[in-house]
Amino acid sequence: MIENVPVLLVVVPILAATLPHFLGLRYDRAGWTIAALVTTASFGLAIWLAATVFTTGEAVVHQLGGFPRPIGIELVADRLSTPFAVLVTGVSAGVLAYTRTGGPRGNSFYSAYLLLVGGLSGLTLTGDVFNMFVFLEIVGLTTYALISKGRSGESAVAALKYLIIGTVGASLYLIGVGLLFVATGTLNMTDLATAIPEQAGYTDPLVLSSFAFVFIGFAIKIAQFPLHSWQPDAYQHAPDGVTPMVAALVSTVSAYALFRLVYSVFTVEFLVANPYTTEVVVTFGSISVLAGSALAAMQTEVKRILAYSSVSQFGLVVLAYGLVNDTALVGAQIHLLGHAIMKGGLFLAAGTIAAGVGARTVDEYAGLAKRMPFAAGSLAVLGIALVGVPPSIGFVGKWYIAVGAVEAGAWPVAVVVFLSTMFTLAYVARLLEKMYFTPVADRPTSDAVAADGGESGDSDGTRERDSVTDGPARVPGRVAPGTVSKGMLGVTILAALLAVGLGFAGGVFDALLSPFVEVILNG
Amino acid sequence: MLDLLATRYAYVAFIVLLSVGLYMVIASQNLVKKLIGVNLFQTAIFLFFVAVAYVEGGAVPVVPKDAGGPTTTLVSPLPHVIVLTAIVVGVALTAVGLALIVRIYTEYGTLREDVLREVRADD
C-alpha cells in the first residue's frame, strides 16, 4: 500500500481539480470544501509517507505502470523529498484557511489551486529529469493563472512577464535535459548518476553545458539576482491569498529540484572534477544575497519588501549548494523549509493586515500594534525569525550555512551571510518601529480614509499609483477593510508559532537530514 | 566551418532559431510578438530533439510480432515522445499567454509595452 502513496499525492489533487468545476454547476461554493478535503488528506498521506521513510530508512519507489527503471518513470520518496512533500501539502492546506474569506473566490480558482498542489508534489517526488520539466511547467502554468486572479490589470501584466521569463527558464532546463540525454541516453536520475561518468565523463563538454543550462534555467525559477525581475511584480500584484502559497512553495520546490539535480544527477564528483562550477554557484548566490537585501531595504510597499527579501534568502540557499560540505547542505535544506514557513507566514500577515485596515506601505503600518495586535505580533515574530534571531528556524538555517562556509574555508561567504542578516534587520526593524513605536496620531488614519489622507502628504508617484490600483478600499470586488476571519488570523499565528517552535527542533532536523546528505556527499 | 554548416545544419538552425526567438522576446515592443518569440524559442528546442534523434538509415521502432527481433537499426522513440509532450506544454502556455494579453488589452487598450508602461505610470 505504501508504495502507492507517492502516486496518490500527485494524481489525487490533479484529478480532484476537475471537481470544483463540475460540482460548481450545482453548488456555488463547492470549491473550497473540495480543496480543503483533498489538501488535508494529502497532508495526512505525506506525513504517513515521511514517517515510513524515516523509520525504515528505505526510500519508497513507485514505478509508474509497473515498467522498470530504464524504460519507465519513477516516483521516488526518500529522506530528502518527503520533508518537502509534507511542506507542500501542509502549506497548501494552511493557506486555504486564509482564502475562505480573504482570498480570491470562485471554483476556477480552486481548480487551479489543486493543479498547483499536484504539480508541486510531482516536482518533489519525481525521479526522472524529463518528468521534472513537465511538472515544472504544470507548476508554472497554474502559478501564472493564479497570479492573474488579481482584480487590477497590474496582476495580468505581472503574470505575463512571469510567463515569458518563466517559460524561457523552463526551456533552458529542457535544453539541459536534451544535452544530458545525448551524452548518456537515459533520463532516470539514478541511472544518470552512474551513466554520466561511464558514458561521457565529468569534463565532457556536453555534460558541462548541460549543467550550465540546468543551473541558469533554475536560477530563473528560483529568482536569483540578475534573473529575478519577474518575482517582485508577481508577488506584489498577486491576490493576497495567492502570494503566501506562491512565495512559500513555488521557488522553494524549484530550489529543492536544483539540489536534486546537482547532487543526485551530476553528483559531487562532477563538482570536484570541475571546481569552477562551485565557484560560479557560490558567487551567483552571494551576489543575490547582497543585491536582494539591498533592494528590499529600499522598498516602501510591504509585499515588495518581502518579495526582494526572498531573492536574498534563496541566494543563501544557492550559495550553500556551492560550498559542498555536510553542514552547509543540511543548512540549505533547513533554511529552505524554514523560509517557506516564515515567508508564507509573513505574506499571510501582510494580507490579513491589508484586509483588516487596508495598510500596504510601511508608512501606513504606523501604530498598527494597537489596531491589530495579533496580526502585528505575528508579523513581528516572523520578521525577527527571518532576521535569524535565536530561537527560530531562521537562525538554525543561517547558522548551519555560516558554519558550513567557515568549514569550507570560504570566509568571504561567511561575511556575506552576516551582512545579509544586517540588511534583513534593516528592513524588518523599519516595520517594527512603525508598528510599535510610531503613534497613530502622526497620520490622519482611520481605515478607509487612510489611503487618501496619507498619500497626499508625503508620497511619491509610485506609492500613489499602487494605492490606486491595489488599495482595498477602492477596488471593487476586494474584501472591504475590517473583514478578518478567525481562519485568516489563526493561520498567521500558527505560522509564527511554527517559525519559533521549529527553531528548537534544529537538532532533530540535523539528525534526520545529515545521514542522507552524507550518503549523497560520499557516494 | 563550411563543412560544419553542411553536415550539422540542423544544429546551426537550432542555434539561429533560438537566438532569433530570444531576440524577439527582448527587443520587440509588441506583446503578441513577444509571445511568438517565446514560441520560436521553444520550437528551436523541438528541432534540437528531432535532430538528435535522427539516425542514418534507422527504421521506425515498430517490431512485428512474429519476427524474432529487430534486424535493422531502429530509431529511439523517446526524443519524439518528449517533443510531443513539450509541444502540448507549449500550446497550453501560448493559450494562457494569449488570454493574459487579451486581459491586458481590455484593461489598458494597448498591446505595446512602451505605451503600456506610460499608461500604468499615469494611472
Q: Would you state the pLDDT for residue A225?
A: 85
CA–CA dist A196, A183 (Å, integer): 7
Q: Which residues in chain A are closer than 8 Å to B45, comparing Cβ atoms?
A: 171, 174-175, 178
Q: Does B24 touch chain A (CB under 8 A)?
A: no
Q: Does B97 touch chain A (CB under 8 A)?
A: yes
pLDDT at B46 over 60: yes
From the list B78, B93, B100, the residue facing A156 with the nearest CB is B100
Q: Does B108 touch chain A (CB under 8 A)?
A: yes
Q: Would you state the pLDDT for residue A482?
A: 62
Chain A, chain B: beta-carbon pairs less than 8 Å apart = 78
Q: Would you state the pLDDT for residue A465?
A: 40
Is there a contact between B48 and A157 if contact means CB atoms under 8 Å apart?
no
Is there a contact between B34 and A164 if contact means CB atoms under 8 Å apart?
yes
Closest C-alpha to A231, from A149, A161, A142: A161
Q: Would you state the pLDDT for residue A480?
A: 52
Task: Give me the residues of A, 503-522, that contact B with CB < 8 A.
Answer: none
Is there a contact between A167 and B38 if contact means CB atoms under 8 Å apart?
yes
Chain A residue with minimal CA distance to B105? Answer: A153
Q: Tell me the mean pLDDT per 10 residues along chain A, length 523.
A: 86 90 82 89 92 86 82 86 91 87 80 92 91 93 90 88 93 93 87 86 89 93 88 89 90 92 88 88 91 89 91 91 88 90 91 84 82 86 88 87 88 89 89 83 47 39 40 44 75 84 80 79 71
Chain A residue with minimal CA distance to B122? Answer: A465
Is there a contact between B103 and A153 if contact means CB atoms under 8 Å apart?
yes
CA–CA dist B105, B116 (Å, integer): 9
Helix (H) or strand (E) holding A74: strand A74-77
Give residue for cell 491586458. B104
Would you tell me how many other CB atoms lie within 10 Å of the CB of residue A4?
Answer: 13
Distance from CA of A180 to the nearest CA of B (A): 12
Which residues contact residue B25 at a Cβ distance below 8 angstroms, ignoring those fewer than 6 apart? A164, A168, B34, B37, B38, B41
Asked if the peptide bond before residue A391 counts as cis, ω within 30 degrees of 0, the response is: yes
- Residue A235 in contact with residue A247, Cβ under 8 Å? yes
Is there a contact between B49 and A187 if contact means CB atoms under 8 Å apart?
no
- Residue A293 in contact with residue A417, Cβ under 8 Å? no
ipTM of the complex: 0.92
Q: Which residues in chain B are closer than 8 Å to A182, comparing Cβ atoms?
A: 52
From the list B48, B78, B107, the residue facing A175 with the nearest CB is B48
